[in-house]
Chains A and B, each alone.
Chain A
């Protein structure tokens, strides 16, 4: 509160060198018509909070009619000399505002000035060149940061090609079914079970659709059961119970005959595939995973 008037800039005598960035009407003589002062010369930071709060020309601030100095809270208020006042208002008021944005509304400098003069530090409505350039700089920085974010994402993404984890596996028809202990056959590299129900087959992804655990085969119930949260699935991958949201995922299969022609492929839903009579080999593509059907 008290440092404003005693600060070197605030105490500058009327007509002294204007603070940097603010071009006061020159000379010690009263400004002929401060309203004519070109708006772009104003600094955005100088006028923003205060002037917006009290547009002088439109509505005089409370206490404006009081005699100068009477209501002024600052002991070292500029001398209300009639001649020097306009210049003091122009030179001092913006500085006082900039140093102490929370200064009380009846600013002595403004009070001292005639309404027309007090209108000098009004907020410029147009954008100054410097303000515009700062926006441009800011925008270019924002653009750079956005690009950097995108690059960071690409940089941090793991690099692997489809099929690199597993790949295309060639299985014989006999691989699909159960082993001697009643356990469905599995391909541990490709992480899939090769299940067979009657004459339909499927390659079922070994990972539970709930939270990524490897479910196991429950030989007593002849079902798949997850050790983590107890989801259960039928041998064809259909959900039976537990927290899993959907049926087990399956991999796309191509059934080849003895001469290598594709004679059947998995459908879009990844359902059990009916095995043609002349089937010879089955290609399981672990790069093409088909999500199981959601249930509710």
Chain B
């Protein structure tokens, strides 16, 4: 201590107080940056050329955060093509999810008694709570998209080839982790969507061969999702999957430092990898060029995410979970639609004519005990991610050129189209382009679901309270209520929907026949109105049937403003 004090005194004597303080501060700064003094950093910020020797590589060799980034890139990969910055964006969204997630964790308790109340608190009582939640939710969905496109880009430019096979392998693991992270977060709000979407998801695990029921129990913590399941999903979401994600991001990043970013395929000879053999004139240093560039991308992405979350995007919160009622049209998350579409394939060989494929199915069932659902949902479904993992190990073609990879790119496009088609087919409400769409309720209940959904707001609740004209109103043809333009508009829309369903069959080939309907609005309390839609129609057997559904609306609900 005395020696340090003496040195300080000596320095002050010889150079003066101001210079000593400046020198000591710069010394501390240099330690923080692992080797760059304040003047060096200013040089980086000004865009000065690096000195010789280039001390800007010091943070890359000495410090943790920069050692997972390369010191320079080939100039060919610093343009938008070929990377489109998708890997960087994936990591950025992972970071955004971690930060917003920690904020949400502060106000959240993973228990069925408290979770939903916590959500309401976050949305109403916590400053910026709704923004945090919207950013977390939207960021998660965007992250799934970005990671998927990142993989698709890597496939198209054949960047998975030697020596980057294992980088691709870890990338597929990260894709799966991303999906599971997103999915495990579904349950936490403990609303109806949470409970039933996760019930559907874990039931998919239940259908897996041999281990399915055990996996299902491990996930749910009980035969049905309850307190145990909520706690388990919370731990998956905030501990297990982020941990796996961080580990594999580290491996993934290390491989990028080790092998560099692969050059555009057309720039390399066949079987050659020159990403790390970059002449001095082709180098773009990480500091400052790449760093500045990445900061701009981060700023744009965060700005867009914040604006979207602050304006039009609202993460839905449905009613409190109810284990006794499944709401209509409950769906798994959209990134699992392809799996649902797969389960809907009606035959083992769906390309054969109907009669033949039914024959074939019965033979397969009697001989091997395989049904189309076992084949498509339980055998083919899990094989797809495994197939993705081994792509670099089974692709025999050493060339990365597009013109040499016609077969592989065609296969990739077929795969992509198949996944998109299956996703469309997996949408529960059905899409007419698919042969095996939705097997739903009768048209009358579908009309009611469209205007008065079990969960969410719907068109009926958006009519302003004052305009809900008390009385009974016919829909075919639509009555006109006085001074109620939006209510009359609703009646006309109902009439058009009924007319549409009478003329055109839905994806199941069902039509509404002989449909008439009325709406009855009753004031049942000073501030509550009862809205009942009753549809009369003739069923398949020619019997008259009636379907009705009721919504209750309060004067101060405020749905019309949403």
Contact = CB atoms under 8 A, between A and B. Distances in A.
B330 A231 contact: no
Interface in A210-264: 210-216, 218, 220-221, 225-232, 241-243, 245
Interface stretch (B217-225, B243-251, B390-398): B217-225
A59 interface: no
Do most interface residues of chain A lie in helix, strand or loop, or is the interface mixed?
loop
Interface stretch (A41-49, A135-143, A157-165): A157-165
Specify which of A210, A214, A220, A231 lies most central, judged by the most chain B CB atoms within 10 Å of its CB: A220
Contacts of A160: 222-223
A156 interface: yes
B325 interface: yes
A228 B220 contact: no
Nearest to A213: B326
Given A156-B218, A211-B200, A230 B438 contact: yes
Contacts of B203: 210-212
B529 to A, nearest CB: 24
Interface stretch (B103-111, B277-285, B366-374): B366-374
Interface in A59-107: none
B187 to A, nearest CB: 14
Contact of A241 (B365, B371, B439): B439
A160 B224 CA distance: 12
B217 A216 contact: no
Contact of B330 (A156, A228, A296): A228
Contacts of A214: 324-326
A296 B361 CA distance: 7
B223 A227 contact: no
A165 B428 contact: no
B374 A245 contact: yes
A220 B444 contact: yes
Interface in B334-377: 340, 343-344, 361-362, 364-365, 371-374
Interface residues of A, number: 32
B125 interface: no
Contacts of A188: 324
B327 interface: yes
A158 B223 CA distance: 9
A220 B547 contact: yes
A225 B203 CA distance: 18
Interface string A151-171: 001001110100001000000
Contacts of A216: 326
A213 B439 contact: no
A232 B206 CA distance: 21
B202 A212 contact: yes
A232 B221 CA distance: 29
Contacts of B439: 229-232, 241-243
B428 A228 contact: yes
B545 interface: yes
Nearest to B229: A158
B371 A296 contact: yes
A228 B441 CA distance: 11
Contacts of A146: none
A221 B428 CA distance: 20
A228 B331 contact: yes
Given A228-B428, A229-B340, A294-B371, A213 B328 contact: no
B204 interface: yes
B340 A157 contact: no
B428 A245 contact: no
Contacts of A129: none
A158 B217 CA distance: 7
Interface string A195-222: 0000000000000001111111010110
A226 B439 CA distance: 10
A125 interface: no
Nearest to B323: A214
Contacts of B206: 212
Interface in B142-187: none
A216 B196 CA distance: 14
Contacts of A218: 441-442, 445
A156 B222 CA distance: 11
Contacts of B547: 220
Nearest to B378: A245
Interface string B30-57: 0000000000000000000000000000
B101 interface: no
Given A158-B220, A245-B374, A296-B372, A230 B200 contact: no
Given A158-B228, A296-B362, 4 more contacts: A153-B218, A228-B196, A230-B428, A230-B441
Interface of B: 196, 199-200, 202-204, 206-207, 214, 217-218, 220-224, 228, 324-332, 340, 343-344, 361-362, 364-365, 371-374, 428, 438-442, 444-445, 454, 539, 545-547
Interface of A: 153, 156-158, 160, 165, 188, 210-216, 218, 220-221, 225-232, 241-243, 245, 294-296
28 contacts: A157-B218, A158-B217, A160-B222, A160-B223, A165-B224, A210-B203, A211-B199, A211-B200, A211-B203, A212-B202, A213-B326, A214-B325, A214-B326, A218-B442, A220-B442, A220-B539, A225-B441, A226-B326, A227-B326, A227-B328, A227-B454, A228-B331, A229-B439, A230-B428, A230-B439, A231-B439, A243-B439, A296-B365
- In the A-B complex, list the 4 residue pairs whose CB atoms are closest, starting with the nearest: A212-B203, A230-B439, A211-B203, A242-B439
